[in-house]
Amino acid sequence: MKEQLRHWTERIALFNDQSAFRKLFLYLYDFLLACAYTILKNKEIAEEVVLDTFVNLWGNRGRLREVNNIQVYLYVSVKNLSLKSVARENRRCEINWEDLVNEGEAAGTASPEELLISNETVMQIERAIESLPPKCKVIFKMVREDGLKYKEIAQILDISVKTIDAQMAIATKKITESIGSLLNQ
In a domain, 185, yes or no: yes
Indicate if 85 and 136 belong to the same structural domain: no
In a domain, 70, yes or no: yes
d(CA 185, CA 181): 7
Indicate if 22 and 82 belong to the same structural domain: yes
Indicate if 88 and 120 belong to the same structural domain: no
Indicate if 179 and 147 belong to the same structural domain: yes
Residue 135 burial (10 A CB sphere; 0-12, 13-18, 19+): middle
- Interval 176-185 mean pLDDT: 71
Structure confidence by residue, pLDDT tens digits, 31-76 = 999 989 988 989 999 999 999 999 999 999 999 988 989 998 999 8
Indicate if 8 and 85 belong to the same structural domain: yes
Is the full-model pTM beyond 0.75? no
Q: Which DSSP category does 145 fall into?
A: T
Domain CATH for 14: 1.10.1740.10
Q: Which residue blocks in the chain are alpha helix, DSSP H?
A: 2-15, 18-40, 43-59, 70-93, 97-107, 112-130, 134-144, 150-157, 161-183
Residues 6+ apart with CB under 8 A from 68: 156, 157, 158
Indicate if 118 and 163 belong to the same structural domain: yes
Structural domain boundaries enclosing 35: 1-94
Domain CATH for 168: 1.10.10.10
In a domain, 135, yes or no: yes
Cβ(29)–Cβ(45) below 8 Å:
no
Is pLDDT above 50 for 100? no
d(CA 75, CA 38): 12
**Residue 166's pLDDT is what?**
94
Structure confidence by residue, pLDDT tens digits, 120-174 = 777 888 888 889 998 898 888 888 877 788 998 888 888 999 999 999 999 988 8
DSSP 104-122: HHHHTT--HHHHHHHHHHH
Indicate if 147 and 83 belong to the same structural domain: no
Q: How many domains would you assign to the chain?
A: 2
In a domain, 104, yes or no: no
Indicate if 117 and 86 belong to the same structural domain: no
Taking CB atoms within 8 Å and a gap of at least 24, the contacts of 29-38 are 31/71, 31/75, 32/74, 32/75, 32/78, 35/75, 35/78, 35/79, 35/82, 36/78, 36/79, 36/81, 36/82
